[in-house]
Amino acid sequence: MALSDTEVQKQIQHMMAFIEQEAKEKADEIDAKAEEEFNIEKSRLVQQEKLKILGYYEKKEKQIELQRKIQHSNMLNQSRLTILKERENLIRNIMEETRAKLGLATKDQEKYKTLLQGLITQGLFQLLEKTVIVRCRQVDLKLIKEVIGDAVKDYKSASKKDIIVNVDIKEFLGSEISGGVELVTPSGNIKISNTLESRLESLYRQMLPEIRTALFGANEGRRFTD
């Protein structure tokens, strides 16, 4: 039985509605899938950028920490150098104060005469020459002449050697010298300085480790002494 125009029209509308519904559902499905893919890609990009940012700041943090350690090390080294410098200045000041008081050693003439005799005898043993010239301060010339004989006698007795010792009466030690003597060979090529200043300097070098320990305590990090 043939369909009427009305029925055909209804069938066509029904088919069009079905096609539209199917197209709408397909479009919704495509939109949902696109939305899902977009969110996944967005999440991936966000995570990627987040990792980049974290990596950047982690690198910066390490650089800052390295700079902090370097600055700390530099400050520590500078502090150590400052302490060492201040310690050396203190020791040097003590040395200078002691040097300034060397003149007191000449006040007691009898003790100073004994000291001069010992310094001359010691110098003779250091030189071990047949002829020696003794040079002193002009103010000490009288004392030197008084002790020179005993000094030579001590040397000859201990060394079993003859020696000629002359006192220089033309050239004297400078005014900056607090006391003591110098011994020279006639040619002037060899000289032994046994002035109070030179003896103090020699003693200072020998006792420097003990002086440091006495002032600042033992250095646990030092394996060898000076």
**Distance from C-alpha of 3 to C-alpha of 23, rounded to nearest angstrom:** 28
Count CB neighbours of 198 within 10 A.
Answer: 16
Residues of the chain with pLDDT under 70: 1-3, 95, 99-101, 219-226
- pLDDT at position 16, please? 82
The DSSP call for residue 16 is H
**Distance from C-alpha of 122 to C-alpha of 126, rounded to nearest angstrom:** 6
The pLDDT tens digits for 140-163 are 999 999 999 999 999 999 999 999
- pLDDT at position 1, please? 57
**Distance from C-alpha of 26 to C-alpha of 2, rounded to nearest angstrom:** 34
Phi-psi region of 222 (alpha: psi -120 to 50; beta: other; left: phi over 0): beta
Structure tokens at 216: 């600042």
- pLDDT at position 223, please? 55
**Distance from C-alpha of 81 to C-alpha of 75, rounded to nearest angstrom:** 10
- pLDDT at position 216, please? 72
Count CB neighbours of 201 within 10 A.
Answer: 14
Amino acid identity for residue 198 in this structure = S
- pLDDT at position 207, please? 74
